[in-house]
Amino acid sequence: MSATPSAAAPQSAASSLSRPTPGQASRFLAQATFGPTPADIDAVVRDGYAAWLDAQLALPPSQTHFDWLLQQGKNTEEFKGNGINAPLESTLWRKFISAPDQVRTRVAFSLSEIFVVGVSSITASWPLFGAAGFMDLLAEHALGDYRELLTAVSRNLSMGCMLTYRGNRKEDPKTGRHPDENYAREIMQLFSIGLQELEPDGSVRMVDGAPVETYTNADVQGLAKVFTGWDINGPETDVEFHRRPMALNNAQHSMAEKRFLGAVIPAGTDGHLSLGRAMAVISAHPNVGPFIGTQLIQRLVTSNPSRAYVGRVAAAFDDDGTGARGNLKAVVRAILLDPEARNPDLDAPDWGKVREPILRFAAWARAFEATSSNGAWAMPDTTDNTIRLAQSPMRSASVFNFFRPRYVPPVTELARRHLVAPELQITDETSVAGYLNFLAIYVDRGWEDLQTPYTAEIALARDPAALVARVVLLLAGDAFSGQTAAAIAGAVSTIPPGRPRDRVRAAITLVAASPEYLVQK
Amino acid sequence: MKVDRREFLRRACALGASGAAAPLALNLAALGAAAAQSAPGDYKALVCVFLYGGNDPYNSVVPYDAAAYRAYAQARGDIALPRDALQATALRGKEAAPGGARFALAPSLAPLQPLYERGDMAVLLNIGPLVVPTAKAEYIGARVPLPPKLFSHNDQQSYWQALAPEGASSGWAGRLTDLFAGANAQRTFTGITAGGSTVLLAGRRVAGYRVGVHGSTRIDLLTRDLYGSSDCTALLRHLITQPREHLMERELSRIAAQSIEADTQLRAALADVAVPGDFASPLAQQLKIVARIIGARQALGAKRQVFFVSQNGYDNHAGLNDTHPALLRELGQALAAFQQALSAMGVADRVTTFTASEFGRTLGSNGNGSDHGWGSHHFVLGGAVRGGRYYGQHPEIARDGPGFVDNGRLLPTLAVDQLGAALGGWFGAGPDELRLVFPNLRHFDAAALDSLAVSA
């Protein structure tokens, strides 16, 4: 957490948020969506932040990944085994780049970096449908109730595979077999409360000068019994089993007493009741608001939010204004409309976050209205770190995501100031080159069927200053120095005016390569 | 070549000020002695092979004498390896384990058996994170300080690498190489990772340098004129490397500048370095680039280096006996190929390799796997290793016995600090220096592993 003093009390939303400039609107859209488009910038300027956001939050989920894969006929033998998951990339990027419900889609992606499932871990047929269905589940609940989200995640087969509690059996006193502890541990460490007790503002609660750990091995062992007896629901004859919550086999569910986090589920309680009780206990823990709230702020807005900002978001989690707890729509609204997000000091050396590579690519596509020329969306696995992004959606190597929310880059001024920079965990001498090598390809010629004509930009190419101003507005909003923009315009002007498309490509490459852009403000 | 004394003094002050080190009776005379003692004469490298996920110790180094195997088989049930499969990899070393205990390597680790029998590999029994020597009653009663966030993947990974949980700003190997800052022509090539981000290599001034399995990665755009414009290419180079006020931008620029400069140097240094051998697997490919960089040590002006490689997939809560043998096969083959290459290069006694992993696992089965534990067994390899021996002790195998806590999790009896101190001593650091690099070493028998690695 930033050590800087608390931000001032929230200003009146109406006065400070009413009339964004195009640059401010662009910066808002970088936080709220997969990147600004010319049309969205116009809409935010016209309607204001809150009205635009509320309209987004009211949108129902757009066509699911699962249904799109079905529509594309990917539910065949060809895609049954693991390893041929390419259509998953297609649909994930399709929605990142083109879904109308952008806020929901972006929040779902953010949640996929908290509730992490990697497609290669899905030990059931058609793993691509499992991963697609999991992202759909996150989108369905992204603006809903946290406890329902946690319950749906806990019943999901892909998560059951990822954290190995699919088929988990009750204890056997004769052989000494104990239930698999994997999910019980990680649901607490990663999906809900974390390892240490937190204050409502996200700071670590200190008792007698020391942090207080939230659970022990005994809690893990007690909660592990809840996640016994759950497994695939129905035969693997068609892909629909991936959409059904896991089924309970009560014969394999532990009927022993289950103690965890101070709660006791009495002996003899069946699986459904035990799960419901566990979800209630975990969701009611006071850590959830600051723990999940901080991570959503980090994924959308800034790596080091002030304690006051976290406190306001956690308060929205605890009570959405109607007395309801865990309303994620209220949390997202609180994050994006907070005065700290809307009116930060853009010159502060610690504000913002490194744009994660997935967002850089999506933002390029959206800014320049790239779309699939044939509906196939043939995107690659972008995990390679020498000529791709060093990150690919739903391909994290472990449940700990591509990077950790508390990552401190060693030997830096950031570390000296006790600041975190999660995305720098995948930023190194190899991946910085890899990003630029990929950028050079897609800015130049798109990717397969993903193409942009750069029409509006080419129209400005005779005036390099105007061209660069547009590129800067679309990619970086109002957080890019005039000096750098002028230098880029000067360099671009050395490309003959008779090659307008090359001027456009050079301008985009130079803006998208610069650290000023790479840190989202 | 000698230890950078100013560096050492800075470290001494920094650690003293933070209270991490006890009042050490440091004086200049002692420092001089330490520096003289640690003045390195020739090249040395440490290689950390990190097994991400928490390797299962009992199915890697398996109790083999009849009584211990019976206890093992009973405790593990369906995940126990059958004894008759262990006959070929039963270890016949230079010394028996304490109490006459015998162990076998997992059958899939067979490529390591000749190394052990030749004396080029040692087995560390029951090592893990500890703050002070800890008995079971002290753990249960929380009567002694314990490593924070035990059993948590990311935090125990960090503890093995930095002796502190996630968020640590320096690693023990980085602090160790700080002592030899003057030894290398370039700090960039002091700590090198082919295995992903790691805090292990971070010292006071530089963190680890990242390479891919083929070495460095070139920024293609800088090798040609951007759309025919040399001005655009020049501006691109300036934009991505210029120092910035914003702290994250500053890091991005620093990394890009280092990427460009190091690529030029490493590409040239590696051009003629070939390493023969079978390095097909992902882990082996990482070790191959390590061997190639070691081969280029003179061109790089390197005298002291630490390398980091890693292998994923050891969190075998389920399917242990489906997944684990293949992981160990990759590990054993890669390590054996690496040692063979080092021997062919004539540097086997100049490179010491060790395995590490965030934790061991539960002795008991959860049905078809094992859960997060604490202490574990590890390997140390190289020509300087006094191998063919076990170091440390294995407790009686009983889930609720004195050697285990929380229902079957090994309570370590060797600390990571002790291993680090043994490797650091071989590297050339003196006793006082080691106590600065490993602040908790003073609580342990610092000489416990003194004989583990000896200079040629």
Q: What is the pLDDT of residues B301-358, one digit of tens each?
A: 999 999 999 999 999 999 999 999 999 999 999 999 999 999 999 999 999 999 999 9
Number of A/B CB contacts below 8 angstroms equals 248
- Domain map of chain A by residue range? 164-286, 354-520
Which position has the token pair 């805090």?
B199
Q: In b/e form, how buried is each residue of B283-322, taking b as 16+ CB within 10 angstroms?
A: bbbbbbbbbbbbbbbebbebbbbbbbbbbbbbbbbbebee
Closest chain B C-alpha to A146 CA, distance in angstroms: 24
Residue of B nearest to A431 (CA): B217
Q: Tell me, what amino acid is at A219?
A: D
Q: Identify the H or E element spanning A330.
A: helix A328-337
Give the one of A180, A217, A397 whose C-beta lies nearest to B151's C-beta. Answer: A217
Give the one of A175, A211, A409 whose C-beta lies nearest to B77's C-beta. Answer: A175
* Residue numbers in B near A353 (CB within 8 A): 248
C-alpha A402: how far from its chain's center?
Answer: 11
Give the one of B171, B239, B407 whose C-beta lies nearest to A178's C-beta. Answer: B407
* Residue numbers in A near B251 (CB within 8 A): 409, 412, 414, 421, 424, 427
* Residue numbers in A near B409 (CB within 8 A): 217
Instruction: Write the DSSP assignment of B54-91 as a string of letters.
Output: ---STTTEEE-SHHHHHHHHHHHGGGPPPGGGGGGGB-
Q: What confidence score (pLDDT) does residue A5 get?
A: 39
Residue B440 clears pLDDT 80, i.e. is over it: yes
The pair of three-digit structure tokens given for residue A169, joined into one six-digit string? 């059996």
Q: Do A213 and B149 touch (CB under 8 A)?
A: yes
Local confidence band at B8 (pLDDT 50, 70, 90 cut-offs): very low
Other C-beta atoms closer than 10 Å to the C-beta of B99 total 10
Helix, strand, coil distribution of chain B in percent, nearest 5: 45, 15, 45
Of the CA atoms within 13 Å of residue B375, those in its CB half-sphere come to: 27
Give the one of B151, B212, B371 whose C-beta lies nearest to A180's C-beta. Answer: B371
β-strand A206-207 against B121-128: which pairing, if any?
unpaired
Q: What confidence score (pLDDT) does residue A84 get?
A: 83
Q: Do A514 and B154 touch (CB under 8 A)?
A: no
C-beta of residue A24 within 8 angstroms of C-beta of residue A477:
yes
* Residue numbers in A near B365 (CB within 8 A): 175-178
Q: What confidence score (pLDDT) does residue B453 get?
A: 87
Geometric angle at alpha carbon A430, from A424 and A435, rounded to 5°: 75
Of the CA atoms within 13 Å of residue B190, those in its CB half-sphere come to: 25
B393-435 pLDDT tens trace: 999 999 999 999 999 999 999 999 999 999 999 999 999 999 9
C-beta of residue B455 within 8 angstroms of C-beta of residue B384:
yes
Residue of B nearest to A225 (CA): B366
Q: Do A181 and B203 touch (CB under 8 A)?
A: no
Closest chain A C-alpha to B190 CA, distance in angstroms: 14
> What ipTM was reported for this prediction?
0.96
Q: Tell me, what amino acid is at B6?
A: R
Local confidence band at B96 (pLDDT 50, 70, 90 cut-offs): confident
**Burial label, B234 (beta-carbon count in 10 A; 0-12, 13-18, 19+):** middle
Domains of chain B, each with CATH number or no CATH: 5-213+274-443 (3.40.720)
Of the CA atoms within 13 Å of residue A228, those in its CB half-sphere come to: 27
* Residue numbers in A near B252 (CB within 8 A): 354, 427, 432, 515, 518-519
For the CA atoms of chain B, what is the radius of gyration?
22
Please report, to the nearest 10 degrees, the dihedral formed by the alpha carbons of residues A380, A383, A386, A388 taken in order. 40
* Residue numbers in A near B197 (CB within 8 A): 425-426, 428
Which position has the token pair 């953010």?
A110
Q: Do B252 and A427 touch (CB under 8 A)?
A: yes
B98-147 pLDDT tens trace: 788 999 999 999 999 999 999 999 999 999 999 999 999 999 999 999 99
Please give the Cα distance from B372 to B157 (Å, whole number): 12
Interface test with A, best of B58, B248, B358 (most A CBs within 10 A): B248
Residue B15 clears pLDDT 50, i.e. is over it: no
**B409 has which bridge partners?**
B405
B175-226 pLDDT tens trace: 999 999 889 998 999 999 999 999 999 998 889 999 999 999 999 999 999 9
Interface test with A, best of B74, B76, B187, B247 (most A CBs within 10 A): B247
Residue B27 clears pLDDT 90, i.e. is over it: no
Tell which residue, B126, B164, B171, has the closest CA to residue B147.
B164
Q: Is B226 helix (H, G, I), strand (E, B) or coil?
A: strand
Local confidence band at B24 (pLDDT 50, 70, 90 cut-offs): very low
Phi, psi of A520 (to 5 degrees): -75, 125
β-strand B209-210 against B191-193: which pairing, if any?
parallel
Q: Which residues of chain A have pLDDT under 70?
A: 1-18
* B141 vs B24, higher pLDDT: B141
C-beta of residue B301 within 8 angstroms of C-beta of residue B293:
no
Closest chain A C-alpha to B262 CA, distance in angstroms: 9
What sign has the CA pseudo-torsion B258, B260, B262, B265? negative
* Residue numbers in A near B155 (CB within 8 A): 195
* Residue numbers in B near A471 (CB within 8 A): none
* Residue numbers in A near B168 (CB within 8 A): 408, 410
Please give the Cα distance from B131 to A352 (Å, whole number): 37
Q: Tell me, what amino acid is at B12?
A: A
Closest chain A C-alpha to B384 CA, distance in angstroms: 31
Residue of A nearest to B210 (CA): A429
